Chains A and B, each alone.
Chain A
């Protein structure tokens, strides 16, 4: 099924096998994009509502965006990028190291270990917030920088979930890298650290990109744990900050919220565009027996 064959194929066959795919594409894109177009319209509307702003792009004003940048929003963007970025990088490092161990070494508890990691992740964190809060409160007394109301503290909480599904995802991928590569390097005198950092990590770059993206998106959309840990206005993440706009009992500011939502989607989108060539083909390929 080489691509060239299709390029040269006859019109009739193109109509039968390919044309409808474009129709599906149009439908799919409309489906995926219309709520977002709706938010975009609401964010440009002078009316401050999310429900019932049904005449799309009736009046256009940038007032909501201007108001948005009067708040702490620019700071929130920076915070989110820093927290999300650091978490993503650290997650990739720790999860890949763990996956390397599971994939290349034999040790006691190896078989149960992976399942255990996955199962631990299933604890509903939304109800564990009391424990997280109390833990960080104690930590604050000893090491303020890891405690409550610290972004580093929040990153550490996120890193508690760095293994789990990520290791699982990577594990399959690592397995698909032939062991002969390691053996050859070992014969050349390379230690396990050199093999890991200079050979394996390069080969699994796609899955690293995927895990980084998943981790970033996860951090980015979390408002529950971030809302518990971060308290000062200038330390919040986008999700927590935006949520504040609409959680007020009497003064829900939907317009400004919509504007913030539109802008907040950009970093993830850009990251995806940037990582796409790794991601397509990188996500689950490794789980197939290699």
Chain B
């Protein structure tokens, strides 16, 4: 087939010209659409008397917030209230990611266990949680499980200072004493020295071939020095215990039912997914490799650490990145049980002043940023476990 390429005035081929024109047309169409939407929005906002822009962030919020990591009272601004929500979202997400990872690894490993009963229990757990909406799990935990706990009067005391009741979980509040700075600095130094020793041990082994217990040694250095710093500072950390008085506990730290339900729900739900990632990772490693390593007399702990894990992670990490991102997004279900995350607080603000456009833009900006951070972090981890590209 002969291709005729007549040059146009601009020196482009007809094909390139057509492509540029059609792309320009698409872009123009989309821009026109966006402008139309923008124009409509302006008109609608004017009709409803809603002032657009982010000036409202400075105004007094006047809304009460149940859980806050930073000092908050209703005289603070909308912007500050939203920040409280963002911190709450991050707080519950980080705790849930840790919990879901631990439980997920246990579940995944259990599913491939040779212990028949353990494997079956894990399988039933995964199949149940994965086939129910997260919101149902949340409602169940919130209004059935936690509501079944006793009134604070008859709270279940696990150990001194830790109580379970339907009003929340009470824990001692850690308090810093006068020598806390010594302890904090000591811990930081101990951590650094521990890591230095660990890395030195690894280099030493490569150089000389002699094995030094690097991780255990580093851990011992960290724990030992941090403990020493703790004593040196005069045991500067004490717990303020919750005490029952009147109709509820006073003092101490409380995990309210809303927070606890959200945390439990997110952990249980996400762990089922992470468990499956872990399982598929483990199953992706050829059984022959494990057998070969065993036949060479390598101890099973070393086989797990040096043969199974590095290869299993190649399969597990990318899938788990998605699950972490979903977990953060799913924390927005907080609004359904009344934990004040950023969606819940933002929703209240929309209800008060109608500035939906701005709040939704802020939600999107924060979630997209969090997702970006997760994917950058996990990609770094992922790059370390993938096959080296030659």
Partners in one complex: no
Interface residues of A (CB under 8 A from B): none
Could you list which residues of chain B lie within 8 angstroms of chain A, going by C-beta atoms? none
